[in-house]
Amino acid sequence: MADSAADASAPFLKMGKEQTEAVIGLQKELLEAYEEASRAWLERVRSEVELWSQLTAKLSAVRSPTDAAGAYQEWVGEHVKMAVDDGRRLTDDCQHFIERVTRSFGNGRPAAGT
Protein backbone atom coordinates (compact mmCIF):
# COMPACT_ATOMS: atom_id res chain seq x y z
CA MET A 1 0.00 0.00 0.00
CA ALA A 2 2.83 2.42 0.82
CA ASP A 3 4.49 1.64 -2.51
CA SER A 4 1.37 2.64 -4.45
CA ALA A 5 1.20 5.97 -2.60
CA ALA A 6 4.88 6.61 -3.39
CA ASP A 7 4.28 5.67 -7.03
CA ALA A 8 1.31 8.04 -7.20
CA SER A 9 3.26 10.95 -5.74
CA ALA A 10 6.32 10.46 -7.98
CA PRO A 11 4.96 12.58 -10.87
CA PHE A 12 4.15 15.43 -8.47
CA LEU A 13 7.63 15.30 -6.96
CA LYS A 14 9.17 15.32 -10.43
CA MET A 15 6.98 18.29 -11.45
CA GLY A 16 7.98 20.15 -8.29
CA LYS A 17 11.64 19.50 -8.97
CA GLU A 18 11.31 20.72 -12.56
CA GLN A 19 9.54 23.90 -11.45
CA THR A 20 12.19 24.56 -8.82
CA GLU A 21 14.96 24.09 -11.39
CA ALA A 22 13.13 26.41 -13.80
CA VAL A 23 12.82 29.14 -11.15
CA ILE A 24 16.48 28.77 -10.21
CA GLY A 25 17.41 28.97 -13.89
CA LEU A 26 15.34 32.13 -14.31
CA GLN A 27 16.91 33.70 -11.23
CA LYS A 28 20.37 32.90 -12.58
CA GLU A 29 19.55 34.41 -15.98
CA LEU A 30 18.08 37.55 -14.43
CA LEU A 31 21.07 37.95 -12.13
CA GLU A 32 23.39 37.73 -15.14
CA ALA A 33 21.27 40.31 -16.97
CA TYR A 34 21.31 42.62 -13.94
CA GLU A 35 25.09 42.30 -13.68
CA GLU A 36 25.48 43.08 -17.37
CA ALA A 37 23.22 46.12 -17.07
CA SER A 38 25.03 47.26 -13.93
CA ARG A 39 28.39 47.16 -15.70
CA ALA A 40 26.97 49.21 -18.58
CA TRP A 41 25.46 51.81 -16.23
CA LEU A 42 28.66 52.01 -14.21
CA GLU A 43 30.54 52.77 -17.42
CA ARG A 44 27.92 55.42 -18.16
CA VAL A 45 28.58 57.06 -14.78
CA ARG A 46 32.28 57.07 -15.56
CA SER A 47 31.53 58.77 -18.88
CA GLU A 48 29.46 61.39 -17.06
CA VAL A 49 32.30 62.12 -14.65
CA GLU A 50 34.71 62.43 -17.58
CA LEU A 51 32.36 64.83 -19.35
CA TRP A 52 32.13 67.04 -16.25
CA SER A 53 35.92 66.93 -15.84
CA GLN A 54 36.38 68.07 -19.42
CA LEU A 55 33.94 70.94 -18.89
CA THR A 56 35.76 72.01 -15.74
CA ALA A 57 39.11 71.96 -17.52
CA LYS A 58 37.74 73.98 -20.43
CA LEU A 59 36.10 76.54 -18.16
CA SER A 60 39.29 77.02 -16.18
CA ALA A 61 41.09 77.92 -19.41
CA VAL A 62 38.51 80.31 -20.90
CA ARG A 63 39.53 83.87 -21.64
CA SER A 64 36.16 85.32 -22.63
CA PRO A 65 32.42 84.84 -22.14
CA THR A 66 32.29 83.57 -25.73
CA ASP A 67 34.77 80.79 -24.88
CA ALA A 68 32.70 79.88 -21.82
CA ALA A 69 29.51 79.78 -23.87
CA GLY A 70 31.24 77.55 -26.43
CA ALA A 71 32.41 75.17 -23.71
CA TYR A 72 28.91 74.97 -22.26
CA GLN A 73 27.37 74.50 -25.69
CA GLU A 74 29.73 71.61 -26.44
CA TRP A 75 28.99 70.07 -23.03
CA VAL A 76 25.24 70.33 -23.55
CA GLY A 77 25.53 68.70 -26.99
CA GLU A 78 27.48 65.76 -25.57
CA HIS A 79 25.12 65.50 -22.61
CA VAL A 80 22.08 65.32 -24.92
CA LYS A 81 23.74 62.54 -26.93
CA MET A 82 24.41 60.65 -23.71
CA ALA A 83 20.79 61.10 -22.62
CA VAL A 84 19.58 59.66 -25.93
CA ASP A 85 21.94 56.70 -25.47
CA ASP A 86 20.67 56.29 -21.89
CA GLY A 87 17.08 56.06 -23.11
CA ARG A 88 18.03 53.52 -25.75
CA ARG A 89 20.03 51.46 -23.25
CA LEU A 90 17.21 51.53 -20.70
CA THR A 91 14.71 50.39 -23.32
CA ASP A 92 17.03 47.60 -24.46
CA ASP A 93 17.69 46.47 -20.87
CA CYS A 94 13.97 46.36 -20.06
CA GLN A 95 13.22 44.47 -23.26
CA HIS A 96 16.00 42.02 -22.47
CA PHE A 97 14.61 41.34 -18.97
CA ILE A 98 11.06 40.93 -20.29
CA GLU A 99 12.22 38.50 -22.98
CA ARG A 100 14.01 36.36 -20.41
CA VAL A 101 11.01 36.25 -18.08
CA THR A 102 8.56 35.61 -20.92
CA ARG A 103 10.76 32.85 -22.33
CA SER A 104 10.96 31.19 -18.92
CA PHE A 105 7.17 31.18 -18.53
CA GLY A 106 6.80 29.60 -21.94
CA ASN A 107 9.78 27.35 -21.26
CA GLY A 108 11.06 28.31 -24.68
CA ARG A 109 7.96 26.99 -26.44
CA PRO A 110 5.64 29.05 -28.64
CA ALA A 111 2.21 29.94 -27.27
CA ALA A 112 -0.64 27.50 -27.89
CA GLY A 113 -2.27 29.71 -30.53
CA THR A 114 0.85 29.98 -32.73
- For the stretch 39-53, pLDDT in tens is 999 999 999 999 999
Residue 9 falls within a domain, yes or no? no
Residue 19 falls within a domain, yes or no? no
- For the cut 80, the answer to whether the pLDDT of residue 16 exceeds it is no
CA distance 77 to 64: 20
Overall average pLDDT of the 66-91 stretch: 94
CA distance 37 to 96: 10
Report the chain's mean pLDDT, rounded to a whole number.
83
What is the domain extent for residue 87? Answer: 27-106
- For the stretch 88-102, pLDDT in tens is 999 998 898 888 888
Tally of structural domains, the chain: 1
